[in-house]
Amino acid sequence: MKKFAILGAGTWGTALANMLVNMGHEVTVWSPDQKEIDELNLTRKHKHLEGCEINKNIGFTTSLKDCLLDKNYVIFATPSVFVRSTAEKAKDYLNPSQILISVAKGVEPKTMLTMTEILTDVLGNEYKVVALSGPTHAEEVAVGLPTLIVSACEDKAVAEEVRDTINNEVLRVYSNTDIKGVEIAGALKNIIALASGMSQGMGFGDNATAAIVTRGLTEIVRLGKAMGCNPDTFYGLTGIGDIVVTATSKFSRNHNAGYLLGQGTSLEVTLQKIGMVVEGINALIAAKELANKYNVEMPIVNAVYSIVYEGVNPKEAVINLFNRKTISE
């Protein structure tokens, strides 16, 4: 049995907690929201995880000290925009003997750091940091549906340790040392999911969805290569696998948000209707910064950015994409 702290009581943090406790591990979940913690303790249900009975052995707390004390692994499961602030709050209770695991997907604007790079930036190089990523809807993991995921770390032994610790009969875990590629894929696939949702919101069909997924992957691979990532990473679970599930599933916040935007719904109303963090919106600014920094052409990313942040009509953005100069595939 290992001891886990999970920082963040959202759908993914809660789903992972349930799975880990059911494996026999000890788990404590932290949230700064007392009302949220009280509700989880009382009802043993999460409002966004239908059909999931939360194991009574999971501890929920608003105390970072209590959550982090004597834990072997610390999972950062907050939205990407809160990873830095959460690490700052937690650093007095952490120590380098613990393995830190990030399950958030994003890139920080301006610094252009991935989530694990933010943890290293805040806490120091002595910490062992892993990215856990892949096509993993919390709604399915929470009820034990078969899922595959990747444990990524430059230190192969650390990636394999996390892999072997959490692998079970419903969650098959692979290891990968290309942590940068895994994180870039995880962040940018949310933008492609927004584009897919927009396409369907405008009434386009499966042909357009397939085109967005494949050409969107091409853009991500192009950027990944420029950043020194392993191209093979983008054709695996954390690349094409995660794009497919996020761009097509009813559980995808990014796809659903894109659908509303494609119908002409304002960004403000769209986010209110989704009711949870839409990571693709957060990733757009950093993605555009990265494309500019590495001089990489990313027309789909630029089109989504123009719709979300520049007020371009979605149909006009599509016309602009189709009017681009023709090239070889």
Helix, strand or coil, per DSSP, at residue 231:
helix
Quickly count: other Cβ atoms within 10 Å of residue 49's Cβ: 20
242: β partners = none
Contact assessment for residue 190 and residue 280, using Cβ atoms and an 8 Å cutoff: yes
Contact assessment for residue 318 and residue 298, using Cβ atoms and an 8 Å cutoff: no
Residues noted as catalytic: 189
* C-alpha separations of 255 from 10, 139, 209, 287 in Å: 19, 15, 11, 18
CA–CA gap between residue 302 and residue 324 (Å, rounded):
13
Q: Which residue has the tokens 């979300």?
A: 308
Pairing of strands 3-7, 99-102: unpaired
Which strands, in side-by-side order, build the sheet including 73-76?
59-61, 26-30, 3-7, 73-76, 99-102, 128-133, 147-152, 171-176
Q: Which residue has the tokens 């986010």?
A: 271
User: Nearest-5° angle of CA 192, CA 180, CA 305?
Assistant: 30
